[in-house]
Structure formats: structure tokens, C-alpha cells
Amino acid sequence: MLNNATGFKHIYIATGYTDLRKSIDGLAMLISTEFKLNPYDEGSIFLFCGKRNDRIKALVFEGDGFLLMYKRLVDGKYKWPRSGEEVRNITEQQYRWLMEGLAIEQKKAIEKVTPQRI
């Protein structure tokens, strides 16, 4: 389920380290107090990673309640950005890269261009 992020308006990742022992209420409090975002925003997914880089938690509000997802990789690690205690809004492409074990900032990614009229 976490391999696909289509349908989300916003994909937020909490850079740095998050204590994955936090429950729904703890993560929602972190979103609202530390990151100044609304955890009740339908269509947004919030991602958190601990120190081990092989497990993540995701929090989604579905209108009638929260959904908390936890994923632990059998083999491999996420390339989680550790730039500090902040939140970043990432694209669906960056999300796919992250779930594939790649960094969200690809140095050699080919960017789409808008064709010019001739």
C-alpha cells in the first residue's frame, strides 16, 4: 500500500529522526505543533522514519479517523533525508524514488521540459 502515493494532494516527509514508538496521537501532535501543519488535512500523507532507516510510519486522515501504516523492509534501507527536524513536501516522483531505496534528490534525473512552438 505504501508503494503508491497516487491520489494524495500533499506528501510530507519529516526529515531527521522520529521516535517510531509514537502513536497516532503523538504523530498528529508532532505535525501540528512542530511542523505547523494540519494533521486533519484530507488528501495528505505524513511520513516518518526512525534511526534504523529500514522502517517508516505513515499517517493519513480519512475524514472519519486516522490511518496509521507501518512498514519494515525485509532487506534494504530508505535513503531518508536527515537535514534536520523539518517537514518537506515532495512530489509523487520523489516518493517513488524514496520507496525504491533511492534519494529524493536525484543528481542525474532528466527533467521534463515544455516544448516551444516553432
Q: How many residues does the chain have?
A: 118
Residue 11 has pLDDT above 90, yes or no: yes
Question: How many domains, the chain?
Answer: 1
pLDDT tens digits for 59-104?
999 999 999 999 998 998 998 888 766 889 999 988 988 888 888 8
State the Cα–Cα distance between residues 13 and 99, nearest whole angstrom. Answer: 12
- Residue 102's CB is within 10 A of a number of other CB atoms, namely 14
14 CB-near residues (< 8 Å, 6+ apart):
30, 35, 46, 47, 48, 49, 85, 86, 87
Domain range spanning residue 40?
Answer: 10-99
Tell me whether residue 118 is in a domain.
no
* Residue 1: predicted pLDDT: 62
Stated pTM of the model = 0.84
Tell me whether residue 25 is in a domain.
yes
Tell me whether residue 111 is in a domain.
no
Q: Quote the mean pLDDT of the chain.
A: 89
- Residue 54's CB is within 10 A of a number of other CB atoms, namely 15
